[in-house]
Amino acid sequence: MGQKGEQTRARLVAAALDLIESGGCSAAGLNQVIAASGAPKGSLYFHFPGGKDQLVEEAVRQGGAEISRLLGELPADDAAGLLTGLLEVLGERMEASGWRKGCPVATVALETAAENAALQRACSEVYRSWEDGLAALLEAEGHPAPGETASSVLALVEGALMLSRAHHSREPLEKAARTIALLL
C-alpha cells in the first residue's frame, strides 16, 4: 500500500475513533465515517473488507495505542505521578470536547462485548496491555500484588472517566487521582 493509501486508511480509522468515542458504535456508521474522513466510499471497503466491525476493531486498537503512547510521554517520577498526569490530560481532553470524549475503549466494550467476540477481544487486549504495563511499573517500584493493584487502578480510572462524563465535571478524576496516590 502506498503512502496515499496509508493516509486514507489512517483518516478512516481516526474518523471512526472520534465518532465511536463521542457517540458510541451507533454514531460510527459507515456513511458517517466516510463523511467525517473525507475518504471515498470505495476506500473504506478496500481498506476494511470486513466492514464496520473490522473498522471499529482497528479504531479500538488505535485508541488504545494512543493512550499507551501518552503514558510513555508523560513526565513522572513514579506510577502515582504518571496516573495523576494521565487523569489530568484526559480531563482536559474530555472538557475540551464538551464532555463527549472519555475512554476510547470503554464505549465499545460496554456496547458490544456481549455480542461481538472480535470487538470483545480487541477491548480485552487493549485493557490487558494497559494493566500489564502498569503492573510492570508497579513491580519495578516494589509494590505488593502489582497485577491486582494495576487492575484496581485501571477500574478506578475507567469509573472516574465515566462519572466525569456523566457529571460534566473533572471532580471524579481529581478524586481518583488522590485515591490512586493513597493506594500507591
Cβ atoms within 10 Å, residue 51:
11
Q: How far apart, in whole angstroms, are the C-alpha atoms of residue 135 and residue 148?
A: 8
All three cell numbers of 25: 458504535
Q: What angle do CA 136, 140, 141 make, to 5 degrees?
A: 120
Can you give the pLDDT of all 184 residues of the chain as single tens digits?
A: 677 778 889 999 999 999 998 888 888 888 999 999 998 888 888 999 998 999 999 999 999 999 999 888 988 889 999 999 999 999 999 999 999 988 889 989 998 878 899 999 999 999 999 999 999 999 999 999 999 999 999 999 999 999 999 999 999 999 999 999 999 9
CATH fold for domain 52-183: Tetracycline Repressor; domain 2 (1.10.357)
Q: How far apart, in whole angstroms, are the C-alpha atoms of residue 68 and residue 103?
A: 12
The full set of domain ranges for the chain reads 52-183
Q: Are 173 and 73 in contact (CB under 8 A)?
A: no
